[in-house]
Structure 1
Amino acid sequence: MTEEQPQSEVPDALQQQAWVWLRMLNAGNVKTWEAEGFKRWLQASPAHQAAYRTVRERWALLQPLAGEVLRTDAPAARRHRRNLQGRAQGRRAFLGAAGAALAAVAGVAIVHPPGGLWPAPDEWGADLRTATGERRALTVARSTVTLNTRTSIRQRAGDEQPDGIDLLAGEAAFDLGGDAPFMVAAGPGRTRATAARFEVRYLDGKACVTCIEGSVQVDHPAGTRLLRRLEQTRYDDRSIDVISTVRSAAVSAWRRGELVFDDTPLAEVLADIDRYRPGRIVLMNDGVRDKPVTGSFYIASLERALTQLQHTFGLQARSLPGGLFILS
């Protein structure tokens, strides 16, 4: 008899591979050689079988909420639509109705993973990734880089560009030492500085760069911004904002163990809190999504913060397996 490997012992790399197979089998144009490849992968060892069983069980928990995620999470919906563009329909017959239904939402889970349960494809090339709630400091090119929760980076050196990192997702603070230039690539933007302190946040295709001390240059296809102390700019794939000033109390709040909000829409507040806890928060009440929130919460007490927000806005709360927290 073959002994099954406990789910907790399934290697992360195998689970990542299993999600790739799940997506391929349920959302594309499967070729005979691909199906044979999956069979060989699945039969390679009990660990491979346990990994695939694990991801199917996880998806069984997430599937009921996938449609709601598409409805309420605009970045997930956009990425899902792009993911579906150009796909042939031939595999629908191969999968049958149940497989086709799963395909409609499986792409959301793979390309835009809920709750950080597994890294998104954009983050698979990371050299370093912090876990949920983890904060880590490291030295890169004689500079101190502090990574916030759920942050993925790739170090760069030896090419024609200055030393630095690619910020694939998340948030990081940079305390530069020495006179050598340092560059942070996040999406289409490049942030360059020498002997400065600054922070870069890059989530769902949107970046925010804040200068704490010194000066920072942000280059974007749509323009260049030169930031000085307590100045900030934001950009996405298409444009870069004008420079704005920030309150000193809000700068580096996460490094002090706080989250600070100033007239921030409730949906954005919940998305920020979501990054520091396992699972996912889903807001199902559209009437309060844009309600402003002003205040600060301790990162160590975010469950208390959720309770406060629930009562403040008169919401009903429901907890589901896998750390899913529904507010309606």
Structure 2
Amino acid sequence: MTIHGTETADLPPLVHEALGWVVRLTSGAATTADAEAFEAWRAQGPAHVEAFREAIAFRRTLRTMPLSRLAPGSNVVAFERGSRPAVLDRRAMLIGGGAVAASAAMLMATPPYGLWPSLAELGAGERTGVGERRTLRPMAGVTVEMNARTALSLVQFSARLITGEAFVAVRSSQSPFSIVVGGKTWSTRNAELNVRFSDGNTCIACLRGSVRQSGDGVHTLGANQQYVSKAGEAGQISPIDAQISAAWRRGVLIFRDTPLAEAIDSINRYRPGRIILANERIGRRLVSGMFHTNQIENAVDQLQQLLLLQVTQIAGGVVILR
């Protein structure tokens, strides 16, 4: 399967094939034969697996691009139509129906590579869009400031961060206020926190006061300390500069020896489209710099100059860094 488009001409041929598979498998018309053929294609080697990972990331951006605003004839990637799928007979439907339903439920709960919003995100009580910020006051003495592209839910005396970033200020509250991040509950009566959760990675930064994590592996953070837990790894506590951790509230993103993948996650909150990293190796490179959120359109050029990266521009603000 292939994909055609003037703006993807410099992408590797294997990625073009992978993009075709992504489109087919998420079209709603894929058959069991398609699934078997795809598994055979992906099993050919690590290069095929990596190409599919990159294609998934690319497809994710297409689903969030404002394509309706683009004029006809724009450099929008056009996917070729597949042949008409074979219709499954009644017996195949009865046999496969349960498995398909179970798979669909799993994919909705945990979308691969965030290809579409999860059920938890769709059900969030509060969501912000690109470049949007919102202030909430869930109870007396408590303020929650949501960063862009953030989803959270509020319940009595607590909040649950589903994805994104938020600043939480609790000032001498009689009742403790709790926030759940990455499945862990943190509680305080008097503190300022900057909390972030993305792709299974958790960061709890205590800017003032103290906050305590309940449950297994209890942790207590004081002022200018942060707890960072990456997916599948134990959490670590380290000192921080409070002025940097919540700089986004002042319209500035500041990075000091920050992994590029983490920096891109923050930058993507403020720009339409999406910046995509071609592979994990690039994401581990360290970046230091300052980016103004009201001039975030300059971020790609700055990153290209800082890290000597190759840039592929795609329609709708999508950029691939190599």
Q: Which TM class, normalised by the smaller chain length?
A: 0.5 to 0.7
CA contact (8 A) 1:187 1:237 kept: no
Residues of 2 paired with 1:208 and 1:248: CA distance?
13
Identify which of 214, 222, 230 aligns with 1:219: 214
Residues of 2 paired with 1:312 and 1:137: CA distance?
34
- 1:207 aligns with 202
Distance 1:240 1:180, change over 3 A: farther
Task: Write the letter of the residue equivalent to 1:280.
Answer: R
- 2:151 aligns with 152
TM-score by length of 2: 0.64
Residues of 1 paired with 2:124 and 2:255: CA distance?
30
Task: Answer yes or no: is 1:136 the counterpart of 2:126.
Answer: no
Deviation at 1:26, TM superposition (A): 4.9
Identify which of 108, 123, 139 aligns with 2:121: 123
Deviation at 1:27, TM superposition (A): 6.6
Alignment of 1:27-38 (within 5 A): none
Deviation at 1:273, TM superposition (A): 1.2
Task: Write the letter of the residue equivalent to 1:125.
Answer: G
Identify unmatched segments of 5+ residues in structure 2: 1-24, 33-50, 59-84, 89-102
SS at match of 2:194: strand
- 1:194 aligns with 189
Alignment of 1:41-80 (within 5 A): 67-70=53-56
Task: Write the letter of the residue equivalent to 1:135.
Answer: R
Residues of 2 paired with 1:326 and 1:24: CA distance?
24
Task: Answer yes or no: is 1:179 the counterpart of 2:184.
Answer: no
- 1:77 aligns with none
CA contact (8 A) 2:150 2:163 kept: yes
Deviation at 1:94, TM superposition (A): 4.4
Distance 1:210 1:267, change over 3 A: closer
Residues of 2 paired with 1:327 and 1:125: CA distance?
32
Structure with higher RCO (Cα < 8 A, 6+ apart): 2
Identify which of 25, 30, 36 aligns with 2:28: 25
Distance 1:94 1:278, change over 3 A: farther
Distance 1:110 1:322, change over 3 A: farther
- 1:259 aligns with 253
Residues of 2 paired with 1:220 and 1:250: CA distance?
29
Deviation at 1:312, TM superposition (A): 2.7
- 1:7 aligns with none
- 2:288 aligns with 294
Deviation at 1:252, TM superposition (A): 0.9
CA contact (8 A) 2:205 2:226 kept: yes
TM-score by length of 1: 0.63
Distance 1:274 1:183, change over 3 A: same
Identify which of 302, 306, 323 aligns with 2:317: 323
Distance 1:27 1:218, change over 3 A: farther
Deviation at 1:216, TM superposition (A): 0.2
Distance 1:250 1:125, change over 3 A: same
Deviation at 1:233, TM superposition (A): 0.5
Residues of 1 paired with 2:315 and 2:265: CA distance?
19
Q: What's the CA shift string for 1:148-198, capped at 9, x where partnerless? A: 0111111112xxxxx111111111111113221001012220010002111
CA contact (8 A) 1:23 1:110 kept: no
Identify unmatched segments of 5+ residues in structure 1: 1-21, 30-64, 73-91, 96-102, 158-162
State the number of aligned residues.
Answer: 235
Residues of 2 paired with 1:167 and 1:298: CA distance?
25
Task: Answer yes or no: is 1:314 the counterpart of 2:313.
Answer: no
Q: What's the CA shift string for 1:71-95, capped at 9, x where partnerless? A: 89xxxxxxxxxxxxxxxxxxx9648
Alignment of 1:83-102 (within 5 A): 94=87
Deviation at 1:25, TM superposition (A): 3.0
CA contact (8 A) 1:110 1:121 kept: no
Q: What's the CA shift string for 1:36-67, capped at 9, x where partnerless? A: xxxxxxxxxxxxxxxxxxxxxxxxxxxxx864
Task: Write the letter of the residue equivalent to 1:164.
Answer: S
Distance 1:240 1:225, change over 3 A: farther
CA contact (8 A) 1:150 1:170 kept: yes
SS at match of 1:166: strand
Distance 1:28 1:146, change over 3 A: farther
Deviation at 1:129, TM superposition (A): 0.2
Task: Write the letter of the residue equivalent to 1:121.
Answer: L
Distance 1:300 1:165, change over 3 A: same
Residues of 1 paired with 2:228 and 2:261: CA distance?
19
Residues of 1 paired with 2:204 and 2:294: CA distance?
25
